[in-house]
């Protein structure tokens, strides 16, 4: 006998059969019925309970997340990459509004996406890099390859100069690599009406083989601590505070960097200027991925060329 609670339009249709399969595969913690007839009896002709979609999907998403995490924890490198992608700031480049000044080309977006998905930048890479590292075990190897360090420096310098621009937009004055400081120099010395800040920018690659075994966030914290040890006393002597502006290659930001961007937002508001936290974060995130893409693209070219015989 046909269940009268099932809408006529969905009786014995592919959609109804698909629903039956989905309900049968739900985790035990799901509040939804386990079969289509019970589902339509409960929800076919009555208004759904508040937040039903959220309540129904949370157990499913949690089960999928646990499955994915278990699968990606098989190696230290994939586990470190997965943990880095959980940082809220790591997806800022995906949420950024495109603009003429900061947008990713199709090639750059493809390379950034493959990095985030744990895929190598190309499906046709050799197993071993020119530096003798095994690329088959490290999809993001080019971001830590010693032969591509000059491009890592270019990525760093572009981030520094744009950060200086953000400081100026917030009403501050920014000196890049100030020559009036002796010995080592921070990347930026910034001045605001009631604040002086020294900043040094760095990019940590958490899935590099030398970092992959560390706890999530440890590579970023290590770089922050190293910068603080190197520059905090100098900043104090210059009547300034020091901010280690640390990125992760996947897009994460250290807490000190996040706090400084929020400070810029406040300074801009006080001066009736436009330098919002979200806009600054998104622009930096896009610029970081452009730098990553350049390293990945040049790495592909490097390993594709025939080796020069000495």
Q: Give me the tens of pLDDT residue by residue for the chain, a chain 310 residues long.
A: 444 455 555 555 566 677 777 777 777 777 777 777 777 777 766 677 777 777 777 877 888 888 888 887 778 888 888 889 999 999 999 999 878 778 899 999 999 999 999 999 999 999 999 999 999 889 999 999 999 999 999 999 999 999 999 999 999 999 999 988 877 899 999 999 999 999 999 999 998 888 767 777 788 899 999 999 999 999 999 999 999 999 999 999 999 999 999 999 999 999 888 889 999 999 999 999 999 999 999 999 999 887 655 4
At residue 13, the pLDDT reads 59
Cβ(143)–Cβ(289) below 8 Å: no
Whole-number pLDDT of residue 133: 92
- Specify the pLDDT at position 79: 86
Residue in the block written with tokens 């001066």: 271
Which long-range contacts link 297-300 to residues 24+ away (Cβ below 8 Å)? 297/107, 297/111, 297/121, 298/142, 298/148, 298/151, 299/121, 299/129, 299/141, 299/142, 299/145, 299/148, 300/121, 300/122, 300/125, 300/142
Enclosing H/E stretch for 241: strand 241-248
Q: Where do the structural domains in the chain lie, given as residue ranges?
A: 14-72, 135-302
- Report residue 242: phi and psi, to 5°: -105, 140
Chain centroid to Cα 264, Å, comes to: 21
Class (C level, CATH) for 135-302? alpha beta
Instruction: Note the pLDDT of residue 40.
Output: 74
Note the pLDDT of residue 143: 96
Q: What is the pLDDT of residue 1?
A: 40
The token pair at 172 is: 């501050």
Q: What global pTM score does this model have?
A: 0.82
């Amino acid at each position: 006998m046909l269940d009268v609670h099932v809408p006529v339009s969905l009786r014995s249709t592919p959609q109804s059969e698909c629903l039956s399969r989905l309900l049968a595969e739900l985790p035990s913690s799901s509040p939804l019925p386990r079969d289509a007839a019970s589902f339509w009896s409960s929800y076919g002709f009555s208004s759904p309970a508040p937040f039903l979609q959220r309540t129904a999907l949370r157990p499913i998403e949690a089960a999928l997340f646990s499955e994915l995490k278990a699968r990606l924890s098989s190696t230290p490198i994939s586990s470190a990459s997965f943990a880095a992608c959980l940082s809220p700031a790591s997806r800022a480049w995906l949420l950024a509004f495109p603009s003429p000044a900061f947008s990713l080309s199709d090639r750059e977006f493809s390379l950034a996406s493959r990095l985030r998905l744990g895929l190598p930048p190309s499906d046709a890479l050799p197993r071993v890099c020119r530096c003798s590292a095994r690329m088959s075990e490290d999809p993001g190897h080019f971001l830590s390859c010693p032969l591509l360090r000059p491009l890592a420096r270019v990525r760093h310098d572009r981030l520094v100069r744009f950060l200086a621009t953000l400081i100026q937009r917030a009403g501050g004055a920014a000196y890049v690599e100030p020559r009036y400081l002796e010995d080592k120099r921070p990347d930026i010395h910034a001045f605001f009406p009631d604040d002086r800040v020294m900043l040094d920018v760095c990019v940590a690659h958490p899935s590099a083989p030398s970092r992959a075994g560390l706890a999530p966030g440890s590579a970023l914290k290590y770089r922050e601590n190293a910068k603080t040890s190197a520059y905090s006393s100098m900043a104090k002597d210059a009547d300034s505070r020091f901010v280690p502006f640390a990125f992760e290659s996947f897009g994460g930001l250290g807490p000190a960097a996040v706090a400084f961007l929020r400070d810029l937002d406040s300074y801009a508001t006080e001066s009736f200027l436009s330098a919002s936290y979200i806009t600054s974060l998104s622009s930096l995130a896009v610029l970081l991925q452009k730098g990553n893409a350049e390293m990945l693209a040049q790495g592909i070219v490097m390993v594709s060329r025939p080796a020069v015989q000495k």
